[in-house]
């Protein structure tokens, strides 16, 4: 009965908000104004597609880029190109009333090109874990689906806050996160994965590296001797990478500190990062519990 009332309220709310002008500030600090909530949306990055579904507006999508593979229904949407090579003609042909672009990913000059189409453009650029909930909220405002987006944003915020409460002051663990094994590649402190490691009470041993995803030297891993080595990857988990470390008997991580996670959950700044963070925090807690 309660849910029925909620549904009715939602329907009323949606009806009331339709036709109302919407003003949202995007991640580039630009003010985006729509005469009414967006009905036909083109999204130019897989993580934006995912966040739009989280905001309850996935059904408004009329164009996405390749690799938009989550949730499953996104795979069936019309594709306007790839994130760094999209077709302006295809975008025009899909008659959008809002374009969501990826600030740092769509290439130089993308904003100017898209603005020339005469359709409002919203720039998404997520830098931190807090930005995930903020992004879901703003997308909900743009599509007029605040009822869904607000609940989801709060779920994500509470989830991260719970993890922070449980682990941030736990016994600190030094962590080496492998995004590739040959060549050896990791993330520096600016990367979202490194923020998740910090959230879980770990410290990234290469937080000081110069680039976002640096190739690092094997001997410096041995020298910094992390307590935990996490095998990540790109799309699928790679637990087999952990075996290679057994050749170096001096490593502390060999004593119950080798873990692997599903990298698909934490490589995009979306609500799934919460699940990924819960997995990683759980694994680190497991390492802490080792004698």
Q: Which residues bind another protein (CB under 8 A)?
A: 67, 82, 180, 182-185, 206, 209-211, 214-224, 233-236, 247-248, 250
For residue 232, the minimal CB distance to another protein (Å) is 12
Nearer to another protein, 81 or 103 (CB): 81
For residue 64, the minimal CB distance to another protein (Å) is 15
Nearer to another protein, 11 or 235 (CB): 235
Cis preceding linkage at 71, omega within 30: yes
For residue 205, the minimal CB distance to another protein (Å) is 9
Instruction: Tell me the CA distances in angstroms from 105 to 34, 123, 232, 276, one per residue in order.
Output: 24, 11, 22, 23
Nearer to another protein, 25 or 222 (CB): 222
Q: What is the 3-state secondary structure (H, E, C) of 51-65?
A: HHHHCCCHHHEEEEC
For residue 82, the minimal CB distance to another protein (Å) is 8
Nearer to another protein, 11 or 85 (CB): 85
The CB-based long-range contact list for 128-132 (8 Å cut-off, 24+ gap) reads 128/192, 128/195, 129/160, 129/192, 129/195, 129/196, 129/199, 129/269, 129/273, 129/277, 130/160, 131/27, 131/269, 132/51, 132/156, 132/269, 132/270, 132/271, 132/273, 132/274
Nearer to another protein, 153 or 273 (CB): 273
For residue 182, the minimal CB distance to another protein (Å) is 6
Instruction: Tell me the CA distances in angstroms from 17 to 100, 144, 173, 185, one per residue in order.
Output: 21, 7, 49, 48
Nearer to another protein, 9 or 222 (CB): 222
Structure tokens at 206: 């290469």
- The answer to whether residues 62 and 94 touch, using CB atoms and an 8 Å cutoff, is yes
For residue 212, the minimal CB distance to another protein (Å) is 11
């Amino acid at each position: 009965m309660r849910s029925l009332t909620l549904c009715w309220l939602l329907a009323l709310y949606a009806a009331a908000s339709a036709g109302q002008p919407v003003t949202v500030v995007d991640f580039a600090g630009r003010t985006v104004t729509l005469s009414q909530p967006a009905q036909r949306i083109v999204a130019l990055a897989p993580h934006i597609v995912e966040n739009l579904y989280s905001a309850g507006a996935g059904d408004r999508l009329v164009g996405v880029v390749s690799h938009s593979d989550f949730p499953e229904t996104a795979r069936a949407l019309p594709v306007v190109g790839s994130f760094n090579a999209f077709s302006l003609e295809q975008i025009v042909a899909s008659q959008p009333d809002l374009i969501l672009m990826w600030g740092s990913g769509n290439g130089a000059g993308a904003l100017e090109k898209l603005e020339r189409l005469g359709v409002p453009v919203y720039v998404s650029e997520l830098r931190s874990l807090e930005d995930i909930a903020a992004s879901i909220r703003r997308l909900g405002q743009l599509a007029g689906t605040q009822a869904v987006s607000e609940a989801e944003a709060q779920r994500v915020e509470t989830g991260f806050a719970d993890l922070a409460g449980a682990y941030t002051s736990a016994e600190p663990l030094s962590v080496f996160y492998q995004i590739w094994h040959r060549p050896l590649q990791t993330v520096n402190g600016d990367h979202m994965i490194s923020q998740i490691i910090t959230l879980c009470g770990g410290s990234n041993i290469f937080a000081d590296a110069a680039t976002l995803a640096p190739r690092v030297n094997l001997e410096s891993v041995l020298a910094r001797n992390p307590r935990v080595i996490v095998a990540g990857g790109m799309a699928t988990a790679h637990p087999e990478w952990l075996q290679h470390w057994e050749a170096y008997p001096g490593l502390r991580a060999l004593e119950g500190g080798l873990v692997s996670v599903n990298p698909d959950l934490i490589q995009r700044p979306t609500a799934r990062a919460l699940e990924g963070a819960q997995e990683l925090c759980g694994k680190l807690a497991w390492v802490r519990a080792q004698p």
